[in-house]
Amino acid sequence: MTDRIRQAFRLGDIEGRYDPWVLGAVAALVAIGVVMVASASIGVTARLHVGPFHFLGRHLFYLGVGLVGAAIISRIELRTLERKGPLLLLVALALLVLVLIPGIGAEVNGARRWINLGLARFQAVEAVKVVLIVWLAGYLVRHREQVQNTWWGLIKPSAIAGAMVMLLLLQPDFGSALLICAIVAGMVFLGGVRIANLVAPTLIVLPAMVLLAMSEPYRVRRLTSFLDPWSDPFDKGFQLTQALIAIGRGEWFGVGLGASVQKLSFLPEAHTDFIFAVIAEETGFVGVLAIIGLFTLVAGRAFWLGLAAMEAKRPFAGYCAFGVALWIGLQAFVSIGVNLGILPTKGLTLPLISSGGSSVLMTCAAVGLLLRVSYEVDRTHRQVARIRQNAAEIAPPREGQIPSPPADPIPAARPRSPAAAPAPARGGRIEPTLGAIG
């Protein structure tokens, strides 16, 4: 018993490591964002008669707060977030309702998407994305059998997503509503739901979304301008044509940092929704490939960490990683697609790069969650390695048996095969399940 207690304390002292690939790619995107916000916002500041670095200072402030928040989240045990998931979901739904209350919700350009905090405004849907991922990850763990085998397992997440979509359409925010539907569908699919069980909801949701998109004249104009922006380049197709001109001017290596012409009052929202077009103009095709590559690395590494967590018997961590990968990957894809003219115009920022307050804060929070997943997966692998090492030291080889070499005490955090794993130790702060290693 004493040896078990000592081993438990030794395992509890083991620390994990944050994934260096995620850290490196996020740091690169943040650095690019700082440079490009400073460059792309010059024309906007001149038009608004504010200082040339007004938006840069604002961006740096929110980025600093967001990075502090990410550091805090990366140190919170995932089991704590899992327990708080239902409460956080109620808070998220309350935020979407508060946006619609006059005096609390702030209206900008005909849309009521922000909560007025006095000195600043907060876009509620950005917090909802993070909370939805945490809650749905816990739901998929608690109701795994129902989700995989019955219709009932899909009712609750579908109802929650439907309620959020209805509240978002009242703002209106059609782009975020579509993104939330895609995140929920992707996480449920990765949770093991039968394809046949997804067919009926898909056949209901897709036509409903099409009807909603066609119900508002401005959405119809966006669709028609996306199909042929040059038919009305000074009205309906103005945003897209200016973005395409900027991208075309960039050619292979760009016109140089700060030398963009389109950002000078030609390209609307150059520092937010259309910052990718400015990047393409100033850095060219090489810069475009670099941005796409960094987002691919972040999303791909998040999926990889999710698989590693699932194989280490940490399903909540795995689903959280999948959710963050879907969010950042899909939002980056839509933002880049809008700038390139392959998708209809939507008001979605480029994560970690576009100027913004709420978007920057909550994307940093999602990165902190992903880093926590990588930390706990790596810690689990180290704990398993320590158990194997202790078992090898305690049990001497039988007579005539060649001793096996000691296990690497610090193995790389890689996906493990579900081969026979030792029973997990109990007590202290030991993880409830220590995954198997091959």
The C-alpha atoms of residue 335 and residue 341 are separated, in whole angstroms, by 10
* Percent of the chain with pLDDT strictly greater than 90: 49
Please check whether residue 126 lies inside any domain of the structure: no
pLDDT on residue 139: 95
> Starting from the edge strand earliest in sequence, which strands make up the sheet with 121-123, in order?
105-108, 111-116, 121-123
1 pLDDT higher than 70: no
Altogether, the residues listed in the chain come to a count of: 438
Q: Is there a domain that residue 53 lies in?
A: yes
Q: How far apart are CA 284 and CA 278, in angstroms?
A: 9
pLDDT of residue 6: 54
> Domain span at residue 182?
17-80+163-380
Long-range CB contacts for residues 393-400, cutoff 8 Å, separation at least 24: 394/3
> Is 335 part of any domain?
yes
In a domain, 413, yes or no: no
370/407: higher pLDDT: 370
State how many domains the chain has.
Answer: 1
Q: Is residue 241 part of a domain?
A: yes
Rounded CA separation 110/171 (Å): 9
Peptide bond into 172 cis (omega under 30): yes
- pLDDT of 434 over the 90 cut: no
219 is a domain residue: yes
pLDDT at 68 over 50: yes
Alpha helices by DSSP H, 191-274: 195-215, 217-227, 238-250
Out of 16-20, 97-101, 362-366, 418-422, pick the least confident: 418-422
pLDDT digits (tens, 9 = 90+) for 18-52: 999 999 999 999 999 999 999 999 888 888 888 88
Average pLDDT along the chain: 84
Contact criterion met (CB below 8 Å) for 309 and 418:
no
Confidence of residue 402 (pLDDT cuts 50, 70, 90): low
Average pLDDT estimate for 305-331: 95
Is residue 298 within 8 A of residue 26, CB to CB? The reply is yes
pLDDT > 90? residue 249? yes
pLDDT of res. 347:
74
- Tens digits of per-residue pLDDT, 188-229? 999 888 887 777 777 777 777 777 767 667 667 777 777 788
3 state SS of 267: coil
Task: Kindly state whether residue 46 falls inside one of the protein's structural domains.
Answer: yes
Crossing angle of helices 275-311 and 358-394, in 10° steps, is: 30
Q: Is residue 70 part of a domain?
A: yes
3-state secondary structure 160-201: HHHHHHHHHHCCCCHHHHHHHHHHHHHHHHHCCCCHHHHHHH
Question: What's the pTM value of the predicted model, to 2 decimals?
Answer: 0.84
